[in-house]
Chain A
């Protein structure tokens, strides 16, 4: 590191670094691309940009292990540039992008393309998740060795459950050979069938086909059994049901090699949000019941659920301003995840360190990527959060091309005011 490297001094922040057990007021110095000093900083370079972050939290950069960037193939919904800008605005310094692009990311060429685009955009870190099966068709294994070497950090057929149990077993085994994480979209497709929302009295009242929570439960059971059989690392994506939380809790008690995530909408909204057929409340898995929401909050509090991930799923009005049955699943999440998650701290479900674990340390550790630490010498991936900021977001405020969110035009509290990736400021509301 030369003496001329650009430096940033964050002064008087509340520095929260769960891995180091630190939660105290202090300064943090970034020199070049690394964290140079934390706590009491005495050798600040004269050229350093000094930012007073009094009243703000200084935390390791947030890591979203589940987003859809839509490039290549559906750039009208999102591209790597707009998705990365949305991530930075939401406080994320890294995202893992799912393989359901067009073409599917099931080969080195697509993985390499995504990484090259991300490098050219130069905003946040992008970690490609490759497909479990060729074409995500659930029939043959993709080439995990080559994908791993090209830069894929995990495999998943997200959006499409792997219905063939033998293929899932072999995926867990073969992925273990290359130390790849297998991310499961745990849903029995035959039970989910034509369902478009949670099955129950609300679906009956609205006359919409229901997806029973059992569709998630049976698949979580199966995948846990296969992970314990094979020793392969399993990660359950977007947990939405109380039963799945209970299954995962018991499996962890047995020492199963499993981790799990949920998304902000699953601890914020219930199936009632469908209201009068609001397609921004249509997602897969669907929004569930108040009992499920309570169980997911408990799972986040007790460590059963390891990560909060957004499942950021941008769509255009072409997919959302249509009949509910025909509407695409999912909502954008990168720019609302932090205020919705901070609600858990305000409500006493989590302490600030616990929240930082779920949004940064744990996802970085599960993916085996940089980040999740504010230790001196670590890469300077840092998010500064103003936990009190009150604001609303309208469609035009979002960096994402997708405006499909039920959280627009309603009061939000807490936001990222500075996002630093590898020492470079990528989002800045401080000036």
Chain B
């Protein structure tokens, strides 16, 4: 098994084979979470630090659960309790943490490129748990795993991504991941929420919601944040729900067996009609389950690589 990455900074660095390796290893780890005793000794004695500069429930917990099920020691540092409030720079904080010899730093930060900055200054492996509007690689990998599970393949599928593409690191990583695996990615969003040149990443920008969703195998919608109303990027949530929200009428345009995905947390009634969110087409909770398996795989692959070296 070849895995050439010491850090996980973004899916842009991952080849198709790298992605397949992660998905296959994640598949094999899923079984651990179904046991009564949900623990394997693989990473015993390893130290994993969660360094979160942005609030997160799901991702942080998912990494922590993943590390603990592999028997690694995990520590959580969130901004509220950290030295950032005392004026310490990010690089200094990281160097201090690195002096305690962790094996992996898992970082979330509101500024794009922060994991790259840390990777330049610390000896530990760095996993990007979401940086600004750049990437969220583990989320895209769990989305890829979820799609492969439900559809048996990724290549040749039509994946519609609808919503705030411009501010979504999840969308960015998914565009890279799904196109690299041979899926067609169709985007739809108000023009104010489409980043410049996104079609050059390999996605197709659609002129209507129907165009994006028609015959899709996967419909993914994204969280829309309240501050987008102020920018000004949108006039109102009411209008957003009417023209860009996903409901049964929209889902009817997709393939009958299409699945619905959302990276969470969901604004019910805005980007997603509650009736669809709770329907049989929704795989939102499978995404969460697969998140643990994918993060176990990433931790394993990074540290197995270190063992070989």
Please list the residues of chain A having a beta carbon within 8 angstroms of any beta carbon in chain B: 199-210, 212, 276-277, 318, 321-326
Contacts and interface: CB of A to CB of B under 8 A. Distances in A.
Contacts of A323: 90, 109, 111, 113-114, 117
B131 interface: yes
Given A201-B201, A277-B116, A207 B135 contact: yes
A326 B90 CA distance: 11
B138 interface: no
Contacts of A209: 133
B134 A206 contact: yes
Given A201-B198, A204-B172, A204-B200, 14 more contacts: A201-B197, A204-B197, A205-B12, A207-B169, A208-B112, A208-B113, A208-B134, A318-B89, A322-B89, A322-B91, A323-B111, A324-B111, A324-B112, A325-B110
Contacts of A208: 112-113, 132-134
A204 B176 CA distance: 12
Interface of B: 12, 89-91, 109-114, 116-117, 131-135, 169, 172, 195-198, 200-201
Contacts, number: 68
A277 B112 contact: yes
28 contacts: A199-B196, A200-B196, A201-B197, A201-B200, A202-B197, A203-B196, A204-B172, A204-B195, A204-B197, A204-B198, A205-B201, A206-B112, A206-B134, A207-B113, A207-B131, A207-B133, A208-B133, A209-B133, A276-B113, A277-B112, A277-B113, A277-B116, A318-B89, A322-B89, A322-B117, A323-B90, A325-B132, A326-B111
B132 A207 contact: yes
B196 A201 contact: yes
B112 A210 contact: no
Contacts of B135: 207
Contacts of A202: 197
Nearest to A212: B196
B176 to A, nearest CB: 9
A322 B90 contact: yes
Contact of A210 (B91, B169, B196): B196
Given A199-B196, A322-B89, A322-B90, A204 B201 contact: yes
Nearest to B194: A204
Contacts of A204: 172, 195-198, 200-201
Contacts of A326: 111
A96 to B, nearest CB: 33
Nearest to A194: B231
A316 to B, nearest CB: 12
B197 A200 contact: yes
Nearest to B53: A323
A429 B91 CA distance: 39
Nearest to A324: B113
A207 B172 contact: yes
Most A C-beta atoms less than 10 A away, residue of B112, B172, B198, B201: B112
Q: Which 9 A-B pairs have the closest CB atoms?
A: A207-B134, A201-B197, A277-B113, A323-B111, A207-B112, A204-B195, A207-B133, A325-B111, A201-B200
A205 B91 CA distance: 24
Nearest to B176: A205
B102 to A, nearest CB: 20
Nearest to A198: B196
A105 to B, nearest CB: 29
A367 to B, nearest CB: 38
Contacts of A325: 110-112, 132
A281 to B, nearest CB: 12
Most A C-beta atoms less than 10 A away, residue of B110, B117, B200, B201: B117
A209 B231 CA distance: 13
Contacts of B113: 206-208, 276-277, 323-324
Contacts of B198: 201, 204
Contacts of B114: 323
A194 to B, nearest CB: 10
Contacts of B110: 325
A123 B109 CA distance: 46
Given A207-B133, A326-B111, A321 B91 contact: yes
A205 B116 CA distance: 14
A25 to B, nearest CB: 50
Most B C-beta atoms less than 10 A away, residue of A207, A276, A277, A318: A207
Contacts of B200: 201, 204
Contacts of B196: 199-201, 203-204, 210, 212
Nearest to A210: B196
Contacts of B112: 206-208, 277, 324-325
A103 B209 CA distance: 54
A204 B110 CA distance: 15
A60 B133 CA distance: 49
Contacts of A321: 89, 91
Nearest to A207: B134
A209 B131 CA distance: 13
A322 B114 CA distance: 8
A280 to B, nearest CB: 13
Nearest to A274: B113
A200 B135 CA distance: 17
A431 to B, nearest CB: 41
A209 B166 CA distance: 10
Contacts of B197: 200-202, 204
Contacts of B89: 318, 321-322
A201 B200 CA distance: 7
A306 to B, nearest CB: 31
A430 to B, nearest CB: 40
Most A C-beta atoms less than 10 A away, residue of B109, B132, B135: B132
A230 B66 CA distance: 68
Contacts of B201: 201, 204-205
